[in-house]
Amino acid sequence: MKIFLAVIFLFHMSQGALDSTWWKYTNLYEVFVPAFKDGNGDGMGDIKGLISKLDHFVELGIETVYLTPIYPSPMADSGYDITDFTAIHPSMGTMKDFDTLMRETKARGIKVVLDMVVNHSSDEHPWFIKSVNKTEPYTDYYIWKNPKGFDKKGKPIPPNNWLNQFDGTAWRWNKKRKQFYMHQFTSEQPDFNLRNPRVINEMKKIFNFWLRKGVAGFRLDAVKHLVEDDQFRDEPAISEKVDMYNTTNVNDLKHIYTHNLWESYQIVHELRMVCEKFVNRSADFERILITEDYVTGDMLYRYYDTKDYKIAQLPLNFILDYIDRYVNATVYDEMINEYLDGLPTGATPCWNSENHDKWRKALIFTEEYAFIFPTMTMLLPGVAYLYYGQEIGVTGSHIRSDLAVNKYADDFTQSSRDSYRLPMQWDDSLNSGFSNNRKTILPLTTNYWRINVKNQKQQKYSHYHMFKKMLKLRKTETIKHGDFKSYVISTWVFAFTRTLKGHESYVAIFNMGTDTEFVDLHNSIDSLPKSLVVEIASRNSGYKPGDKLSSSPKIPKILVLRPSATLVFSSDN
């Protein structure tokens, strides 16, 4: 018995203490895998290409990499239509490649998070094919309903007025089964019946498969869509002007029966417990769940853990995604503080400004805007969610419709979402170093010859070097644990401070407008140190790191802030 207890003791000693806080201060870097780096020469990004660029993350200071779907897929919706949840898309590599990726990232101290689609599969998934054929136990793996009736031409009428996210009814008739199946996204993406315990168990097996591979957690896609009303009631119109039975616009209905039902939160809880059990058995660091749900306020906060009920550690916050050119400093101040003030006790903020579903700011504003938002994201309290290319200020490009891969339009620009999923810009060579194939999955951004990693590494004060420095600042005690206070300096100038007693203070200031602003820092910001040093400066600011500024009241207009300029100061101790 003594020997047995000693072995147990040594086993736990060898594992070390569980790291349960790593995710609270991490940065999450999204890799849209098909567009990041081609490693096999077919014009599409893949796992080997990603492995070849891991040192890029190390040099920048990236700690956690989040991968968009890498699973087998017909690519009807950029890989979010999955045919096998425990395999690798042939164009992206093999499971052996993935295992190599996990070894290489671990050796570099980088964690990997996978995108996981729990809401639906591809209509080519074996489960769906078996469900069509009513092969048990798959008959009820998806949501099937009889028609409400038939029209005069004998055409089946959908069961209710529910709409999908893109182009009309959420129901598609299956001739073989002679029933409708539900799809909240494309018709190639049938929704799972997540009220079926067998389906939940399948998802748990999938989670365990990847956890055993060493992933650090999952980003759960489209969580607000997981469960629908079991009575299949029609959804009401947003106003009397809308015909709730004939509209095809998803925004015309109040989604009280298809979005954010309490059962959706319960499913996320069940999946979180899979991660918890895995950690309790063998892991040396906590695994995380990140939820994607474009909601704000209470609906968002409910996805956070409570004292007695674990759900997700990091519900993504998208308030900075919806910013347009006319949002002034007061609105920034109100949005940021409302979000922070509403967070549950102990919750970790999580900021996102660009991703594969939302336009790049520079694409619809100006090139200078590409610096404003990652600066905010990285220096506000909490976790910074970053998108590939933000480190060099990738702008994206509007592309011709005949070159688009994804046929569904962005909700703001009304052009293909491919516009902000273009190949990563590594250098100024053919295809910007993304691929040696003549043709790439999508065309290059038109300014790749100028905006690329190689060029910016050679420029002392480039976007790349400022981005890298911000990631370094995130490791300071002030940014990790310091107080936050925001300021509306003028209609278009927004600023905030990060302070911590006994440590260096930081001031971030942004000109969101189109005019030059003259800012009296001394009269604008409380308890400002007498002398400030520029730590971070956007290329258009007119300043550079190391410049010193005095906040003496004898100099009433000490800061000239150019349009769309960003500056970060530190206290000169």
The catalytic residues are 221, 292
CA angle 369-497-389, nearest 5°?
A: 30
CB-based contacts of 43: which residues, under 8 Å, 6+ apart?
435, 437, 438, 439, 440, 441
Strands 149-150 and 156-157 come out as antiparallel
SS3 at position 462: coil
CA 404 and chain centroid, separation = 22
In degrees and rounded to multiples of 5, residue 506 shows phi and psi of -135, 145
Whole-number Å distance between alpha carbons of 24 and 109: 16
Kindly state the tokens that stand for 261: 């039902």
CA 529 and chain centroid, separation = 36
CB-based contacts of 206: which residues, under 8 Å, 6+ apart?
85, 86, 116
Residues 380, 496 contacting (CB under 8 angstroms): yes
SS3 at position 426: coil
Q: At 269, which helix (H) or strand (E)? A: helix 262-282
* Beta-carbon count within 10 A of 128 CB: 23
Show the beta-strand stretches assigned E in 121-234. 144-145, 149-150, 156-157, 171-174, 179-182, 217-221
Residue type, 151: D
Token match 């490649």: residue? 97
Kindly state the tokens that stand for 180: 């409708």
CB-based contacts of 89: which residues, under 8 Å, 6+ apart?
69, 70, 71, 72, 73, 79
Q: At 520, which helix (H) or strand (E)? A: none
